[in-house]
Amino acid sequence: MKDSRRSRLFLGLLLAAALVLITVDHRSENTPVFGPMRTIVTSAFGAVERGVSTVTEPIGGFVGAVAGAQGSRAQINNLKTQNAKLQGELSSQRIDKRRSAELQAMLGLSGLGGYKVVPAQVVARRAAPGFEDAVEIDAGTADGIKPDMTVLNGEGLVGRVVSATASTATVVLLCDPASSAGARLEGTGELGVASGLGANGGSGRRIMFRLLDSTAPLPVGTRLVSFGSQQGVPYVAGVPIGTIEKVEATPGELTRTAYAKPFADLSSVDVVGVVVEGPKRDPRDALLPPAPKPAAKPAAKPAAKPKPAVPALPGQQAPPQVARPSQSPAPGDTAPGNDAPENTPATEQGRDGQTSIPGDEAA
Amino acid sequence: MPRILITTLLVLTALVLQVTVVNRLPVSVVPDFVLLVVIALAAIRGPVAGATIGFFAGLGADLLPPVDHALGQHALVLCLVGFAAGRWAERRPLLTVAVCAAGGPALALAVAGLLGDPGVDLRTFEVAWPMAAFVNLLAAPVVVWAVLKVYGPRPEKATAAAVPGWRRA
């Protein structure tokens, strides 16, 4: 009883004190009586709280992780799959973009030359030492491809078709030792033969050029275009081939031997075009990329804009004619092939290049 | 006959992956996985089976587009390699696999030269063979390991015990 009474008294006192504090604090809103005390205590507690929570946060996190492990693992898996999917999409978009650029360059080149091309994509390649350098493309006789047709990409000559099935065709590359193409020097028009070197040429990094007239000048850096055979079989005229890199001294021989770097990167061909119909007139040097300003710098720009280096002949501004029949079974694999907007910018580039040249009003 | 199925599947996979993926990598020299798979299979199965596997794998390689060489050129090379790998793999497995992996491209070049392929001469050999042999040697352990994994432990031990000394004859 005694205890109880004392404790009641104590409780009452404390309640009274609390009420007093409440009253005082409430009444003295504008004249802070407890202000400083409150600040000190708050900051002290705050510091302690921060310290403690720093220490205990990992524990809490651990407990939380253990408690929510199942859910978070599922979430991590979700995020991972999502991430992988997005990354895949990103890289495939990058590849699509590159292919679209290659296709545009190719269409620009073929439009400039007035070739009628069938776009195609490389699906397989053979490159064992002692065997041919050949690729398989995803267009065949159903698309109008026949053996002995010229194959090019945005940079230049790639090779020729050797056989074709309904939906695929085999293309022997320019760097295959068994393939040779008639070539013509830029400007002077001297004739020669460009032939592949196989493994000797570093797998397509170099081809050999034999100049038939051994007295004609053959400076390093001269560009080659295809000479073209009768009715464009197997090579149509005017396709850029490469740049002379090295001239061999062969005194007393009937021909002069030089080595050229092909414009097309033959070790990684992807989007190509098969010329199903040659130009009405030989485009001569008009398809060569712009001449490099310093003499020692070969045209190494990827997807160089086809721009005539010398005044172009009139009548070459035919838009690129893409001959892909609509009954083609799989439009998805070379999707941008038939899209008109895809090839218009390339054509515009080509036209811009030509209109900058005086003497073109005739066209 | 699940072994025949597994063998066929392995060889076909190697053939298709070689032309569609490996050869299209933007590098100038790539390992020849068909050759390596044939070597590994022959090393497990012995000379006769190795030669047969090599022959048919080579025939597949000759038929698989893109192709512009005489039919049977690959078959000849891989048949010889398969036989050699099967013949000596039991005594000196590591050395045999290495020699076959490095010698395969050399044999292919020699056959191509003998058949009169244009552009294959001694200089081609000097340029092309060392790199091809090197990448084959690099890839050989991986392929042999993978084939062993798919094929399981060497099944020939039971055969050799059942028919003592038939391989040494």
> Quick check: A327 pLDDT over 60?
no
d(CA A334, CA A119): 7
Contacts of B74 in chain A (CB under 8 A): 131
Q: Contact B129/A129, CB-based, under 8 Å? A: yes
Residue A3, token pair as written in the block: 């205890």
pLDDT in tens, A197-214: 876 666 667 888 888 887
| A280-284, A339-343, B1-5: range with highest mean pLDDT | B1-5
Q: What is the DSSP string of B5-24?
A: HHHHHHHHHHHHHIIIIITT
**Whole-angstrom distance, CA of residue A156 vs CA of residue A57:** 65
- Say what percent of chain A tops pLDDT 70: 66
Does B26 lie at the interface with A, CB-CB under 8 angstroms? yes
Residues from A in contact with B at Cβ < 8 Å: 122-132, 134-136, 162-163, 165, 168, 170-172, 176-178, 196-200, 202-205, 267-268
Condensed to tens digits (0 to 9), the pLDDT of residues A65-124 reads: 776 777 778 888 888 999 988 888 888 888 788 878 888 887 777 777 777 888 888 888
Which residues in chain A are contacts of B65 at CB distance < 8 A?
A: 124, 136, 165, 168, 170
User: Are the beta carbons of B124 and A267 separated by less than 8 Å?
Assistant: no
Are B124 and A178 in contact (CB < 8 Å)?
A: no
> Span A235-262, mean pLDDT?
83
Q: How far apart are CA A136 and CA A122, in angstroms?
A: 6
Highest mean pLDDT among A226-230, A310-314, A344-348, B66-70: A226-230
| Closest to A153 in 3D by CA, of A55, A77, A267 | A267
Least CB-CB distance to A129: which of B69, B74, B109? B109
Range name among A263-267, A331-335, B134-138, B165-169 with the lowest pLDDT average: A331-335
**Rounded to an integer, what distance in angstroms lies between the CA atom of residue A298 and that of residue A32?**
83
Domains of chain B by residue range? 2-157
CA distance A103 to chain B (A): 18
Give yes or no for residue A358 having a pLDDT over 70: no
Chain A residues whose beta carbon lies within 8 Å of the beta carbon of residue B57: none
Q: Which pLDDT belongs to residue A15?
A: 67
Structure tokens that stand for B112 in this block: 């191509």
Pick the residue of B127, B129, B131 with the most A CBs within 10 A to test the interface with A by mutation. B127
The DSSP symbol for A238 reads T
The sign of the torsion formed by the CA atoms of A75, A77, A82, A86 equals positive
Which residues in A lie closer than 8 A to residue B32 (C-beta atoms)? 128
Is B36 within 8 Å of chain A by CB?
A: no
Q: Which of B28, B108, B129 sits opposite A131 (nearest CB)?
A: B108
Phi-psi region of A59 (alpha: psi -120 to 50; beta: other; left: phi over 0): alpha
Each residue's pLDDT expressed in tens, for chain B with a length of 169 residues: 578 888 888 888 888 888 777 777 777 788 888 899 999 888 888 888 888 888 888 888 877 777 777 777 788 888 888 888 888 888 888 888 888 888 888 888 888 887 777 767 777 778 788 888 888 888 888 888 888 888 776 555 444 444 444 444 4
Assign A307 a pLDDT band (cuts: 50, 70, 90).
very low
Residues 6+ apart with CB under 8 A from A336: A99, A100, A103, A342
Q: Residue A224 pLDDT > 50, yes or no?
A: yes
Nearest CB partner across the interface for A197, out of B27, B111, B119: B119
CA–CA distance, B143 with B11 (Å, rounded to integer): 12
pLDDT of residue A56: 65
Coil/strand/helix, residue B112: helix
- Show me where the domains of chain A are located: 1-33, 91-355
Greatest mean pLDDT range, A39-48, A287-296, B117-126, B155-164? B117-126
* Yes or no: domain B2-157 corresponds to CATH 3.40.50.800: no
- pLDDT of A253 strictly over 70: yes
- By the CB < 8 Å criterion, does B29 face chain A? yes
* CA distances (Å), origin A278, targets A110, A123, A150, A155, A262: 10, 25, 9, 17, 21
Largest CA distance in chain B: 50
Whether residue A165 has pLDDT greater than 80: yes
pLDDT of A181 reads: 85
Residue A332 has which token pair? 């998805």
Q: Three-class SS of residue A334?
A: coil
